[in-house]
Structure 1
Amino acid sequence: MKIYFAGPMFAKADLLYNEYLVKKIRELDDSLEVYLPQENGAINDKTAYADSKMIALADTEKVLESDLLVAVLDGITIDAGVAYAKDIPMIGLYTDTRQQGADNQKKLAALGATAENQFHYLNLYTVGLVKLNGSIVSQEQDFFSLIEKQLKKYTQLGGF
């Protein structure tokens, strides 16, 4: 099964977290092929040059080849439109701690004050696309479990 891994990749912390998650995904099963864009030096070596068309074509090709798109939704939001349009299953991991405290009355009241939103905002278009073709979880173990379920489904069906 081919997996496209989407997520923020410009801060060192993002790169390291992506590496960690992809390593764990690859450990789930030897047959998994995970495309991690930061590993594609042809378009993501920041000391070299790749124009917007090169990046768009390379990443879109890998999305279209994938059987599953997984995404870290923390930070900069991904565009899941291509995966949704091709009906590729999606799993999102959203770990942002600002989502906690949904029952805290002071945090809820602050929503009415200008610039005092205590919660992180996610692009609802992206969230909707992911949910239409999959789900979003907040715990890594749930994320890995859903990937394993997709792998079993993929294997049972002999590919999607």
Structure 2
Amino acid sequence: MKIYFAGPMFAKADLLYNEYLVKKIRELDDSIEVYLPQENGAINDKTAYADSKMIALADTEKVLESDFLVAVLDGITIDAGVASEIGVAYAKNIPMLGLYTDTRQQGADNQKKLAALGDTAENQFHYLNLYTVGLVKLNGSIVSEEQAFLDLIKEKSNK
């Protein structure tokens, strides 16, 4: 199974988290082949030069070759490149799985947090772009824990 890994990749923390998750995915099954864009030095060596068309063509080709797209949805907003990759996968009906670990989603049943939504600027929850979230959910699902993420990838690879 060919997996496209979509994740933010410009902060050192993002790069390390992507490497960590991809290592875990690759350990699930020898038949899993993961494309991690940050490993493609031809377009993602930031000391070199790749123009926008080179990047768009290279990553789009890999999305279209994939059987499954997995995406890290964490961050202040969903990374613009991740959102674009999700859009391409949706348009081609490629199944997807999102990982959203933001801790602010916890406490959905806390009455004080819910009441605070009525007080200007007191939103205790994080917002994700609902259009992008909808594209993922229309072709798959979103989970909040790494183990559930890995379990669903393993399940998908065994089909």
Which residue in the other structure is 1:52 paired with?
A: 52
Aligned length: 153
Does the 8 Å contact 2:116/2:123 carry over to 1? yes
How much identity, in percent, do the aligned residues show? 91
Query: In the superposition, relative to structure 1, how do residues 12 and 60 fare at CA in structure 2: closer, same or farther (>3 Å)?
Result: same
Provide TM-score, normalisation by structure 1: 0.89
Tell me the residue number matched to 1:12: 12
Structure 1 vs Structure 2 CA RMSD? 1.8
Structure 2 gap ranges (5+): 82-87
Q: Following the alignment from structure 2 to structure 1, what is the Cα–Cα distance between the partners of residues 151 and 14? A: 22
CA distance 1:65–1:76, shift in 2 (3 Å) = farther
Spell out, residue by residue over 1:35-68, the C-alpha distance to the aligned partner (whole angstroms, 9 max, x if none): 0011111111111111111111111000000000
Evaluate the alpha carbon distance shift between residue 43 and residue 60 of structure 1 in structure 2; reply closer, same or farther with a 3 A threshold. Answer: same
Q: Are the counterparts in 2 of residues 80 and 129 from structure 1 also a CA contact under 8 Å?
A: no
Whole-angstrom CA distance in 2 between matches of 1:50 and 1:91: 28
1:74–1:96 contact (8 Å) kept in structure 2: yes
Where does the alignment leave 5 or more consecutive residues of structure 1 unmatched? Answer: 154-160
Larger displacement relative to structure 2 (15-24 or 72-81): 72-81
TM-score by length of 2: 0.90
Relative to structure 1, the CA distance from residue 40 to residue 74 in structure 2 (aligned partners, 3 Å threshold; closer, same or farther) is: same
Q: Does the CA-based 8 Å contact 1:80-1:130 persist in structure 2?
A: no
* Kept after mapping to 2: 8 A contact 1:68/1:88: yes
Runs of 4+ that moved beyond 4 A: 76-81
Contact 2:8-2:79 at 8 Å conserved across structures: no
Per-residue CA deviation, residues 57-113 of structure 1 (Å, 9 max, x unaligned), is: 111000000000001110165589910111111011110001011122222222223
